[in-house]
């Protein structure tokens, strides 16, 4: 129940805007270069495969050379594919880690902001209560001390109490 009273729609909107800006920045500056790198890698792999096929056709006359070239082409292709997979996995994992860290930073900043706003609101409430208490006490004293007899009685009570202590 208490959490519903602390919800701030303005803070929610600001956090949503920050999240959308972060997604936009990641989409514009991070994902495009990653995808471009992957596309270039895929093109280079396709080129390597095409070159292997051409080499196989050209070397069909020489069986021994053909087998050697095929083994080398397969090994190269497997190495390139393995390297591409490793690079893709590394890039994806780095992007995930970065996004997770940034998200955690944003959440922590939001928590600190909420705590700061809560403390400021509590201080303001305490100040208002203090001011209200002083005003109430002032009004009560004015009403009680409207006549001179009440003044004299109050002074005598204070003097008597201070002599006793």
**Mean pLDDT per 10-residue section of the chain, whose length is 165 residues:** 67 94 86 85 92 74 70 89 91 90 92 93 91 82 70 76 64
Dist. CA 72–CA 76, nearest whole Å: 6
110 within 8 A of 104, measured Cβ to Cβ: no
What is the pLDDT at residue 104?
A: 93
Residue 138 has a pLDDT of: 79
CA 69 to CA 43: how far, in whole Å?
21
- Integer angstrom CA distances of residue 73 from 13, 28, 64: 56, 37, 14
pLDDT computed for residue 71 by the predictor: 87
**Residue 70's pLDDT is what?**
80
pTM over 0.85: no
């Amino acid at each position: 129940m208490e959490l519903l009273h602390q919800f701030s729609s303005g803070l929610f909107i600001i956090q949503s805007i920050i999240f959308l800006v972060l997604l936009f920045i990641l989409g514009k500056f991070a994902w495009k270069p990653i995808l471009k790198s992957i596309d270039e890698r895929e093109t280079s792999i396709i080129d390597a495969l095409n070159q292997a096929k051409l080499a196989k056709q050209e070397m069909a006359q020489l069986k021994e050379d053909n087998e050697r070239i095929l083994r080398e082409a397969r090994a190269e292709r497997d190495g390139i594919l393995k390297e591409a997979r490793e690079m893709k996995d590394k890039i994806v994992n780095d992007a995930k880690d970065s996004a997770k860290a940034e998200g955690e930073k944003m959440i922590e900043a939001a928590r600190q902001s909420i705590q700061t706003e809560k403390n400021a609101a509590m201080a303001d409430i305490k100040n208002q209560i203090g001011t209200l208490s002083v005003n109430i006490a002032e009004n009560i004293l004015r009403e009680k001390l409207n006549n001179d007899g009440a003044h004299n009685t109050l002074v005598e009570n204070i003097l008597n109490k201070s002599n006793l202590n």
